[in-house]
Structure 1
């Protein structure tokens, strides 16, 4: 087995959050995985590569300036999976908890578990965007909202679709992503989590025959600010009267831009409490 290389960057959370957002946009992915850790006054990003990374090329791709400290080191073959998962403890989000297989025994009793492994696909729940979406969904459930039709747009690992399936057993749930590998991983996660009824498919935004003319009571859209703004009119049209969309994948400085796009599309927009510099919005069709 070839040696795995780890690149570690140290900076403030926003700087590394911006870098993660850029890495998420690169297709195909430039690394095996990347994880962001909040360490109080600072933050750390670990990026794993199949071969030794070119630091200058990585800085250019991620947007990290030269004053951001970066280290590169080889990792023993037997250790890289363990190290890639270190720090990824179960994450509580309302009634939900997301965890990796390595932490099955550490899940808080009484919570609804969703098993998602770390990897290049977005949505392990150890990111403020996924957790923010789940908290918003949890609050909706507490208020008695029980949608019968749910769509996870840009599903990543399908963590959000799986959460919906676990609490809404009678709902029709669709999940799509532009990345075929993400859709394949999503389908595997659905089986692993006992929610095989979720229909996963490849789609670019709302452009797919399965979505033509469809309306949903709930849409998850945990993607990026630019696509969220571009898709605002289509998402608004795809909501039933009274339907809601949970929006995330946007930084605090992008919140007003995204909010205005959805207000312009005719929706009422409510801002959730930010998590780790990331915003979650709930928009409702009147």
Structure 2
């Protein structure tokens, strides 16, 4: 949507996370509305999927019928009146991003164009906009993963074949490219929109896309279930910053694509979920190398133990129940 001019409107609805995601994913239904809104949704109460907020932005005043059409899809807001307001002469995208504080983690500095701040001396900056990424925002899981990658490099680790599963906006893949620029890089996400976002962000941040050495190959995939991901295995390093449930589901599949002594970074889980996640990966022969915590969010560095002799095959579909559109941490 272009910068707002006089006559742009916003309608605010309370909702649940599931309701917001359902609207976000139904592009055909959104396109049928006149005027067609741009949707931005985010959590109101941390870690509470029942306390979310949906903002619909319109170029022109929406009709009562359009507002009702959106309202009717939000069952949790049935008894709450939406808030309708005309916007001032300003860019609402920039306004919506002003609360996104830059993240400084290890040698990396992540910011939006509207809130660049002061890039620390010697830091590697990344420009990651929030306008197309559903629920995007700075997060402890991002900080943990960037710090862990930086620690690996400082420890002298070298990786030649790297995969970022559930890449979101591409940030972790970009960081890996800066640290190991000659590696073969693969980034995937269950949501095709996320792949488009990553491709755009790669261009902005001078990360070359392609399938050659030193380039970033992209694909839309459920977990590891994609010919590109499978063909490039085994990997030296895999990163997965998603959710605890999908991380547990993907343990056999990730083990199958990671080489012996390969490294795995896991994030997106809460402290209360760490034991369940670790159990799933220990069953696949992983050991915990290092753990760091940022608030309630741990980041795990696991190493796959070397296997000797015959190992019983593991049935792994490579798929996950990770919901599309769930790439909200930069």
Same fold (TM over 0.5): yes
Per-residue CA deviation, residues 173-219 of structure 1 (Å, 9 max, x unaligned), is 11011111110110111111011121111111111111225111111
Select the structure of larger CA radius of gyration: 2
The Cα RMSD (Å) is: 3.3
Aligned match of 1:209 in 192, 214, 227? 227
Aligned match of 1:224 in 243, 265, 287? 243
CA distance in 1 between partners of 2:133 and 2:262 (Å)? 27
* C-alpha deviation, 1:258, in angstroms: 0.9
- TM (norm. structure 1) is 0.79
Sort the Cα spacing of 1:48 and 1:72 in 2 relative to 1 into closer, same or farther, 3 A.
same
Sort the Cα spacing of 1:21 and 1:8 in 2 relative to 1 into closer, same or farther, 3 A.
closer
CA distance in 1 between partners of 2:299 and 2:217 (Å)? 25
Q: Given the alignment of the two structures, is residue 186 of structure 1 paired with residue 203 of structure 2, yes or no?
A: no
CA distance in 2 between partners of 1:260 and 1:29 (Å)? 37
CA distance in 2 between partners of 1:208 and 1:25 (Å)? 25
| Map of 1:5 onto structure 2 | 11
- TM (norm. structure 2) is 0.70
| Map of 2:143 onto structure 1 | 131
| Map of 2:188 onto structure 1 | 176
Sort the Cα spacing of 1:228 and 1:106 in 2 relative to 1 into closer, same or farther, 3 A.
same
CA distance in 2 between partners of 1:135 and 1:26 (Å)? 34
Of structures 1 and 2, the one scoring higher in RCO (CA 8 A, sep 6+) is 2
Structure 1 stretch 28-37 or stretch 95-104: which is displaced more?
28-37
| Map of 2:25 onto structure 1 | 28
**Kept in 1: contact 2:13–2:71 (CA 8 A):** no
In the alignment of these two chains, the number of paired residues is: 266
* C-alpha deviation, 1:262, in angstroms: 0.6
| Map of 1:140 onto structure 2 | 152
| Map of 1:103 onto structure 2 | 115
State the SS of the aligned residue for 1:250.
Answer: coil
* C-alpha deviation, 1:2, in angstroms: 4.4
Q: Which runs of 5+ in 1 are unaligned?
A: 10-18, 61-65
State the SS of the aligned residue for 1:152.
Answer: strand
Q: Given the alignment of the two structures, is residue 150 of structure 1 paired with residue 167 of structure 2, yes or no?
A: no
1:66-145 alignment runs, 5 A limit: 72=83, 74=85, 76=87, 78-104=90-116, 106-119=118-131, 121=133, 126-145=138-157
Sort the Cα spacing of 1:146 and 1:22 in 2 relative to 1 into closer, same or farther, 3 A.
farther
* C-alpha deviation, 1:110, in angstroms: 1.2
- After the TM superposition, which parts of structure 1 deviate over 6 Å for at least 4 consecutive aligned residues? 19-22, 24-27
CA distance in 2 between partners of 1:215 and 1:123 (Å)? 32
Per-residue CA deviation, residues 74-115 of structure 1 (Å, 9 max, x unaligned), is 361625223311221211011111111123462222101111
State the SS of the aligned residue for 2:101.
Answer: coil
